[in-house]
């Protein structure tokens, strides 16, 4: 039997409920978005942390006729690393985060650095730069004093300056291009004095262009480790005719960050020996 009065009241009640729900949604605080998310905790930065967010990721590289030697890079994010498993899939070299700024040392450094060596890999260490917290020279000293040294044993790669997007604030750490270049130069000069080796520069072309003005003065002295999660390394920063290493993905097997050395294993060994 049709009860028009009851149906009308039910419809009014339903509409009222929907309006109340809509009003509640409009008054609730917005949920966190990537732009409003909390900044990273100091010490948690790692090689390529900002690449996906700023450069994107377009896939792993296809096969190539040029000899490439597989490598990985790790930090405390990977914890204890299964080095034998990595060697079994063809990895032959590795870089381990040693330090950041003048305030942080990798808490998994011993397992990662010694473990890679014991498994037969050629390995080295990197420093995550924070140019807004201390001078380049001070950070180079901190790096060398806490795992960033080098020895001519054929198993130790030169140290790496990881200079990229600031995970804790403005992308260029509040520095002008000329100030950034001066900071990088101070780090590189001090590292060379302390170790006798030219440090490798890890960066992404887009960051380098934005924050150094695409400065080309380090290409003849410092090897380039380019970050680009795509099918090719793409355009390199000014001054470098070729890259030495390429971080091409953050989603590879076992540890995530995988790399290619631009040459055969003999060239990795040559870089280690210096």
Structure token pair of residue 136: 């380049």
User: Cβ of 72: how many Cβ atoms within 10 Å?
Assistant: 27
Q: What pLDDT score does 42 carry?
A: 81
What pairs with residue 99 in β-bridges? 105, 127
Residue pLDDT, tens place only, 12-24: 444 454 444 444 4
For residues 109 and 91, what is the distance between their CA atoms, to the nearest angstrom? Answer: 19
Q: What pLDDT score does 1 carry?
A: 40
For residues 95 and 158, what is the distance between their CA atoms, to the nearest angstrom? Answer: 10
Q: Which of 60, 58, 97 is nearest to 76 (CA)?
A: 97
Q: Which of 111, 121, 138, 55 is nearest to 87 (CA)?
A: 121
Residue 43 CA to its chain's centroid (Å): 13
Q: What is the mean pLDDT of the chain?
A: 86
| Kind plus residue range of the DSSP H or E element containing 214 | none
Q: Which of 118, 170, 109, 163 is nearest to 136 (CA)?
A: 163
Q: What pLDDT score does 66 carry?
A: 65
CA separation, residue 178 to residues 77, 119, 138, 183, 210 (Å): 33, 42, 19, 9, 11
Its pTM stands at 0.79
Mean pLDDT of 86-100: 98
Mean pLDDT of 119-133: 98
Q: Tell how strand 93-100 and strand 104-105 pair up.
A: antiparallel
Structure token pair of residue 59: 């896939």
Mean pLDDT of 172-191: 98
Q: What pLDDT score does 55 carry?
A: 60
Q: How confident is the model at residue 3 (pLDDT cuts 50, 70, 90)?
A: very low
Kindly tell me if the per-residue pLDDT of 180 is higher than 80. Answer: yes
Q: What pLDDT score does 225 carry?
A: 98
Q: Which of 101 and 43 is assigned the larger pLDDT?
A: 101
Residue pLDDT, tens place only, 39-69: 678 887 877 767 756 665 554 444 445 689 9
What pairs with residue 202 in β-bridges? 162, 225
| Kind plus residue range of the DSSP H or E element containing 152 | none
For residues 96 and 111, what is the distance between their CA atoms, to the nearest angstrom? Answer: 10
Q: How confident is the model at residue 108 (pLDDT cuts 50, 70, 90)?
A: very high
- Does residue 187 sit in helix, strand or coil? helix
Q: Tell how strand 69-74 and strand 256-261 pair up.
A: antiparallel
Q: Which of 3 and 181 is assigned the larger pLDDT?
A: 181
Q: Who contacts 204 (Cβ-Cβ below 8 Å, separation ≥6)? A: 50, 51, 54, 55, 164, 165, 226, 227, 228
Mean pLDDT of 102-127: 98
Q: What pLDDT score does 237 carry?
A: 98
CA separation, residue 218 to residues 160, 171, 183, 221, 226 (Å): 14, 21, 13, 6, 14
Q: How confident is the model at residue 110 (pLDDT cuts 50, 70, 90)?
A: very high
Q: Which residues are catalytic?
A: 73, 162, 164
Kindly tell me if the per-residue pLDDT of 100 is higher than 70. Answer: yes
Among 27-31, 205-209, 239-243, 263-267, the minimum mean pLDDT is found in 27-31
For residues 127 and 125, what is the distance between their CA atoms, to the nearest angstrom? Answer: 7
Mean pLDDT of 101-111: 98
Residue pLDDT, tens place only, 204-218: 999 999 999 999 999
Are 221 and 198 within 8 A, CB to CB?
yes
């Amino acid at each position: 039997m049709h009860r028009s009065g009851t149906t009308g009241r039910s419809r009014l009640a339903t509409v009222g409920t929907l309006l109340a729900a809509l009003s509640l949604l409009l008054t609730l605080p917005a949920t966190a978005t990537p732009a409003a998310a909390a900044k990273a905790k100091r010490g948690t930065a790692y090689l390529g942390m900002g690449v996906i967010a700023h450069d994107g990721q377009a896939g792993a590289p296809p096969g190539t006729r040029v000899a490439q030697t597989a490598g990985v890079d790790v930090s405390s994010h990977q914890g204890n690393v299964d080095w034998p498993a990595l060697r079994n899939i063809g990895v032959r070299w590795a870089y381990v985060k040693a330090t950041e700024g003048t305030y942080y040392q990798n808490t998994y450094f011993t397992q990662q650095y010694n473990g890679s060596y014991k498994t037969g890999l050629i390995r080295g260490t990197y420093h995550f730069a924070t140019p807004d917290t201390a001078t380049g020279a001070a950070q180079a000293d901190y790096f060398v004093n806490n795992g960033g040294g080098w020895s001519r044993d054929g198993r130790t790669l030169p140290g790496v300056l990881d200079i990229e997007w600031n995970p804790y604030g403005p992308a260029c750490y509040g520095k002008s291009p000329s100030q950034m270049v001066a900071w990088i130069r101070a780090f590189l000069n001090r590292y060379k004095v302390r170790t006798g080796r030219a440090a490798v520069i890890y960066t992404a072309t887009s960051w380098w262009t934005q924050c150094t003005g695409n400065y080309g003065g380090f290409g003849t002295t410092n090897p380039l480790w380019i970050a680009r999660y795509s099918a090719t390394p793409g355009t390199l920063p000014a001054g470098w005719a070729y890259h030495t290493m390429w971080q091409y993905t953050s989603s590879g097997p076992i540890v995530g960050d995988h790399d290619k050395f631009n040459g055969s294993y003999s060239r990795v060994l040559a870089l280690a020996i210096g």
